[in-house]
Amino acid sequence: MRALVVDDSRAIRSIIGKSVRELGFEVLEASHGGEALERLRSHGVVELALVDWNMPEMNGFDFLVAVRANPAWKDMIVVMVTTETEMSQMQRALEAGANEYVMKPFTRDVLREKLQLVGLVPV
């Protein structure tokens, strides 16, 4: 399975990437939503996207909306991984089609539990 890690911080992409690699995923990276859409177009099926909200050029919410508007990506699990902690922001993301929401800072165990909840990692 493949995961796309979308964050403008190289360090965060590295941390999240390492965690999902340990769970058996091949990892693609992008530094903003526009670059992430290009990765999806060029690399075919990606089962999971872990997306930061606040990024330059195209933020994570706009990426989520674009993904959910494209039938080719309807089955992709999208997890927002962000510092946005307001309930209204979480609700907005979930209503737009996010499958789960992880607040930074987080632990590897929290990430694993969220991926178990969406059925991508065995319990």
Maximum CA extent, the chain: 37
C-alpha to C-alpha distance for 8 and 45, rounded to whole angstroms: 22
Predicted confidence (pLDDT) per residue in 5-36, tens digit: 999 999 999 999 999 999 999 999 999 999 99
**Looking at residue 5, what is its pLDDT?**
98
Token couple for 5: 């890690």
**Looking at residue 123, what is its pLDDT?**
83
Report yes or no: 63 and 40 within 8 Å, Cβ to Cβ.
no
Q: Tell me: pLDDT of 85 over 80.
A: no
C-alpha to C-alpha distance for 87 and 68, rounded to whole angstroms: 21
* Cα 58 from chain centroid (whole Å): 14
Place 87 in a pLDDT band, splitting at 50, 70 and 90.
Answer: confident
Entry pTM: 0.94
The per-residue pLDDT of the chain, averaged, comes to 93
The domains located in the chain, with CATH, are 2-117 (3.40.50.2300)
Proportion of the chain above pLDDT 90, given as a percent: 81
